[in-house]
Structure 1
Amino acid sequence: MNGQELLKQHISKTATLTDEQFDYFFSHFTLLSFKKGQTIISEGDEVDCEYFVVSGCLKAFFINDDIKMYILQFAMSTWWTSDYNALYSHSRATINVDCITDAEVLCLKSADREKLCAEIHQVEHFFRWRTNRGYVASQKRLLSFMNNDAKKRYEELLTLYPELYNLVPKHLIAAYLGITRETLSRLYNGR
């Protein structure tokens, strides 16, 4: 499925656009291709885009002063990613986004998103719905970190996103769970 069809299918789950409205909406996106390991956003960059993943897998992450990586998000097909703090506050990126695999994304500039939301109510509805869903997912993840041990977080991840385990290197899954690679191996072998 090409990027336009995938985006149309994705939006149609929440918003109703005429073919003409969708064509206009889609005309504001740019298709970009990246190779495995390629960086999309680096800490310190100006951020004016968000990315809809057509294919592949991305990660949004932070590296602290002790050079420890924390994965905030994996983004697979039909997921969106960016440094949203930098995007909405017009500040410099505090996280990085790069490609775990080769990837194709549709890039939407912030100014175009705002213009589309002002012009087409259903587009505004879609983005509000998507933002709310993202907030809920972040809240659930934070609560899981506060309430669950590593084993429970690992089991939740496998239940919610089983495809990640074959797609993402284990050291990145460990960084997402906030555990060491060794702990992840013990959890995996104990399944």
Structure 2
Amino acid sequence: MKDAITDFKANARGVILDHRAGNGGTLDAAELVTTLVRPPDTALIFYSPMQRAGFAGPTTAADGIALFEQFKSVSGMTVGAPDYDADMPVALVLHRDGSASDYMPFGMQGAAKVKLFAPAATAGAFSTFFEFSYWGGVSLRLASGDAIAADGSALLGHGVQPDFLVLPKQSDLLAGKDTLYEAALAWVQTELKP
């Protein structure tokens, strides 16, 4: 993935990232993708109940900002890179998500030339989890923490809204048309670098 990002920075006039499988992944992959389009920053912090047992999280934006400032050097999501390309149009196509599939669009949204294309907001899975497994393949997952944005807002359960809400139609699929991709392609083509 690092080689692809390096190649995009050197040679691409525009990029479409298709993350519709959205099986989550690792945070370092989500952070790496943001190096294409953002200057360095801390986008959010991870707040685990293990850090403060019995604390349910911030109740005001001011409390959230204080928590963000307290933990940003310890458990922050670092986005961007000094050699990012502010002029690179990047379309991120989303559909199904969880875990790092929430972190990546959150870390990319708001960058100068990034647009998110999806049929709905992401799941808001900004947490780690405990899993209890039972026989027969039955399991229960419980969120065990939260992510706090720089503005103090708690992110768990609040998905990232797409810039372009694109609803694929069954008739498009039957006609061989990829509605989400075509919308992303049309936008990137209007924004291409010279």
Say yes or no: TM over 0.5. Answer: no
Per the normalisation by structure 2, the TM-score is 0.25
Bigger RCO (CA 8 Å, 6+ sep): 2
Q: Name the structure with the higher helix share.
A: 1
